[in-house]
Amino acid sequence: MIRPPALLILADGTTFEGYAAGHLPSTGVTTGEFVFNTALSGYQEVITDPSYAGQIISFTYPHIGNYGVTALDNEALRPWCRGIVVRDLTKQPSNWRATSPLESLLVQYEIPAIVGIDTRRLTRHLREHGALPGAFGHASADAVRAAAMSATGTDHTDLVSAVSTPEPYVRGSGSLHVVAFDYGIKHTMVRQLAERFRVTVVPAATGADAVRELSPDGVFLSNGPGDPAALGAKIAVVRELLGTVPIFGICLGHQLLATALGGRTGKLPFGHHGSNHPVQDLVTGRIEITAQNHNYAVTPDSLDQGLVSHVNLNDGVIEGIAVPDERCFSVQYHPEAGPGPHDARYLFDRFENLLRTQRLESR
């Protein structure tokens, strides 16, 4: 296969040379915010995670596509990332589960890629300068450069509305009923909830009154893309539900819950994207290895109520909060972990125990 030459240019002018792969857009250019992911496997789950909407994913692991793809590993009905950056894209996968090569998925869902890039150099640059907007493609150097200079990041942008389900749907059949807000919910997250509860997944724009009409035992706030500070209406709904029903939030859901509790959020320099972040539970002292995917985080000492329950041992970022009086808690990382370790899946059991205790106390 002869691939057309392509350029990757960041908004600060830094330039990389490679080759175009995957979907080749008619314009010859793709723009977005560049971030790097350090996971050694799980590339399909990463690409199909709706939390990457608006972003271009650079994989630090050099060989991507080795074991192909299967629809069983999709985390959404379609990918929402803008594109991917890879050092070596495997042409012929080898795995008994594989139904096709990774590139076929990229072509099917019109996801552009650039390969042959020195992803180690790109990662170092993003670590030093932070996540940067930019562009890549097989168009002329002037066209790619112009697109890079006008590209925007995810700041102050509501990306949730684009990725959320347009209609409610139900999964599971447990005795407890949970309403899950879909801010960009992953399939693995829905499966973990459905193993324990009857789950009604609702659009992100659902109001508090509509949730109460469903008579849930608990409310779940999902992961999702973009800047939580741009989601004022959704934060107001969470604030209205506080204290009326137990709440569990993950990733963006954690940020929205913290903001509803009076906290603030800010953007990390290059975010946390990978499957090997050590997090300490400050209550038990236990250390968990976690999967993470976020650019924004809760600002320290900004909460009006509640306590910090978990912290990242790499950089001290707040990884969990809890407010027992309001029967709510949340974590910044991904306990459902697809891909990644399963150290933190006990949090789904903790949510179930909270709901069962609440039901007994209300009798």
Mean pLDDT confidence for 205-229: 97
Residue 334 designated active-site: yes
**Which among 75, 319, 326, 336 is annotated as catalytic?**
336
Residue 123: which residues within 8 A CB-CB, separation 6 or more? 36, 58, 60
What percent of the chain is modeled with pLDDT above 90?
A: 92
Residue 129 designated active-site: no
Least reliable range by pLDDT among 4-8, 79-83, 305-309: 305-309
Q: C-alpha 194: how far from its chain's center?
A: 20
Domain boundary assignment for the chain: 5-150, 160-361
Above 80 in pLDDT, residue 338?
A: no
Residue 240 designated active-site: no
**Which among 45, 138, 187, 251 is annotated as catalytic?**
251
Identify residue 116 by its one-letter amino acid code: G
Mean pLDDT confidence for 180-187: 98
pLDDT of res. 304: 85
Above 80 in pLDDT, residue 1?
A: no
- Side by side, the strands of the sheet bearing 169-171 are 169-171, 198-203, 177-182, 218-221, 247-250, 328-331, 318-323, 307-312, 265-281, 287-298
Average model confidence (pLDDT) across the chain: 95
* 16-48 residue pLDDT tens: 999 999 999 999 999 999 999 999 999 999 999
CB–CB of 290/344 below 8 Å? yes
pLDDT of res. 196: 96
DSSP 8-state assignment for residue 69: B
First-residue to last-residue Cα distance in the chain: 67
* 170-181 residue pLDDT tens: 999 989 999 999
- Name the CATH code of domain 5-150 (choices 3.30.420.40, 1.10.10.10, 3.40.190.10, 3.50.30.20): 3.50.30.20
| 290/207 Cα distance (integer angstroms) | 32
pLDDT of res. 306: 85
Above 90 in pLDDT, residue 104?
A: yes
CB–CB of 294/318 below 8 Å? no
Higher local confidence (pLDDT), 340 or 168: 168
Residues 160-361, CATH architecture: 3-Layer(aba) Sandwich (3.40)
Above 70 in pLDDT, residue 363?
A: no
CB–CB of 180/222 below 8 Å? yes
Above 70 in pLDDT, residue 296?
A: yes
